[in-house]
Structure 1
Amino acid sequence: MIVHVKGIAVMGPGIEHWDALRSHLLTGTPLAPDVQPRPQGSILPGTERRRASTTVKMAVDVAQAALRQSGLKAEDAAVVFASANGDTNTIHQICEALATPERMVSPTRFHNSVHNAAAGYWSIASGSMQPSSSLAAWTGTFAAALVEAAAQCIGDDIPVILAVFDTPFPEPLAACAPGHQPFALALVLDRQPENSLAALRLAVAPDTGLPASAMADPELEPLRCDSSASRSLPLLAAIAAGSTGDDLIFDYVEGLQLRVGLAG
């Protein structure tokens, strides 16, 4: 499968936006160690913005930023939202509530806890009636989401906004789940090559035992290993460099790997 990237957005520790990460990757510009994601959810109407969690706001923020860069319209694009664990703080709060004698769970927390909450908020804010998918595949979430988005883009001949996001669980669940840093990225994919930032060639292949692609950058390699969303960093680095070298390898589902190259 070959798809074209029309927009990119990223948010994470030390990474305020795509331009900051790209500058670091290309020129060594230091990352901002004190910068932590501060999602705003500015696309959301006031009522939804007050109800939305930090996880939801982070997801819609990167989706909005990537779409803005692409120049496409939300009403013309399908969406694929993906997260290994969903809205971690909300899940933690519900577990705390269920551990009390009263076992009272607020309706707002409940509706934020479902895995398609972020995609639902996006649909409300953007007014889009296009297809929406939400998925999780543990540490293979980024690869699974990229395959899903590319397949929809090619099969339905429609631009697709892909947003992958992870936030850490509070303790005690933090000890049982990957991810200790918030991280989110978004790509806008399209079949059409005009005004694209890169062309991606995707292939699902049997797991040969080769390890997933790593970051040569010592600052970013620990972050890459932290969550399912941050496993996207080698692809972002390749796009920044315009690399058309060896295919990148990403962990997918058991027995399979995803290989991604930049098409020349």
Structure 2
Amino acid sequence: MADFILCNWSAWAPGLERKDDRLMGSGNAAAPKCVPKTLQRRLTPLAKAVFNVSELCVGRGITPPVVFSSAHGEICKSLAMLKTIQAGEELSPTAFSLSVHNAIAGLFSIAYGNTQEITVLAPGQEGIAPAFIEALGMLHEGAGEVLMLLYDEPIADFYPIAPFNLNTSSPCVLALRIALTGDGLPLQFLRSPQPRDDGEHPVQLLNFLKFLLAGERSLSLGNQGHSWTWCKK
């Protein structure tokens, strides 16, 4: 069991109605102005959303440790490169270098000069819980605050989905700034004995965002016997 404070959050989820100031508009947001122009052109719409959501949550000039969590990263970029190879065309070196799972985190650290600890997770069927475990570990090791960036976008039909509930109909990016003390929403995070099958990271991410927006006091999510519960205190 772990207690922490959700100091602030912000999100981009085009599939949800915008009823909260912490929800970014559903349009394709431009890159933040503070990002150097040489990097702006390298950012995909998903990366731009991650950058904008993080600024709404933390503010400019603040660089806490960061946990990035995504099931697929920008896997659609990899599919585009495969199609390029199939067509007998040459690959763009820039596209290739930015197709790895931690590409957004790398660009983020460069754009903001963030030299704090950065962790990038691909949690698979474990869902969003590993990001919380990692971030809470950073807090208990001495970090004053930790920024969590959880994101995924729909994957192309080319990739097999069954038997796992991997996909969602729209992208979602969620930024959470957490601490052990201070102002904000007190939350409790604990292991749940109840076996569950709530889908993987993209589905759980959207469910957690809805939990923040709704009046429910608790949310349980899990897969394969690994279940967790978040409680508003």
Instruction: Answer yes or no: same fold by TM over 0.5.
Output: yes
SS at structure 2 position matched to 1:250? strand
Query: Counterpart of 2:109?
Result: 123
Residues 43-97 of structure 1: per-residue CA shift (max 9 Å, x gap): 42111010111221111111111112xxx8523x100111111013312212212
Query: Counterpart of 2:62?
Result: 74
What TM-score, normalized by structure 1, do the two folds share? 0.75
1:73-222 → structure 2 map (5 Å cutoff):
73-75=61-63, 77-102=64-89, 104-173=90-159, 177-193=166-182, 195-196=183-184, 198-206=185-193, 208-210=194-196
Gaps in structure 2 of 5+ consecutive residues: none
- Does structure 1 retain, via aligned residues, the 8 Å contact 2:128–2:201? no
How high is the sequence identity, in percent, across the aligned residues? Answer: 23
Instruction: Give the direction of change, closer, same or farther, for the CA distance of 1:136–1:4 in structure 2 (3 Å limit).
Output: same
Distance 1:157 1:225 in 2: 25
Gaps in structure 1 of 5+ consecutive residues: 23-34, 213-223
Shift of 1:20: 4.8
SS at structure 1 position matched to 2:35? coil
Shift of 1:134: 0.7
Instruction: Give the direction of change, closer, same or farther, for the CA distance of 1:60–1:9 in structure 2 (3 Å limit).
Output: same
Question: Higher relative contact order by CA 8 Å / sep ≥ 6: 1 or 2?
Answer: 2
Distance 1:11 1:18 in 2: 12
Let me know the Cα RMSD of the aligned residues.
2.9
- Does structure 2 retain, via aligned residues, the 8 Å contact 1:40–1:57? yes
1:260 pairs with one of 215, 230, 233: 230
Shift of 1:125: 1.6
Shift of 1:6: 1.3
Query: Counterpart of 2:9?
Result: 8
Runs of 4+ in structure 1 over 4 Å off = 14-18, 174-177
Distance 2:100 2:106 in 1: 10
Distance 1:132 1:66 in 2: 17
Instruction: Give the direction of change, closer, same or farther, for the CA distance of 1:225–1:21 in structure 2 (3 Å limit).
Output: farther
Residues 152-186 of structure 1: per-residue CA shift (max 9 Å, x gap): 22233331110111111234237564122111111
SS at structure 2 position matched to 1:74? coil
Distance 2:126 2:207 in 1: 9
- Does structure 1 retain, via aligned residues, the 8 Å contact 2:174–2:209? no
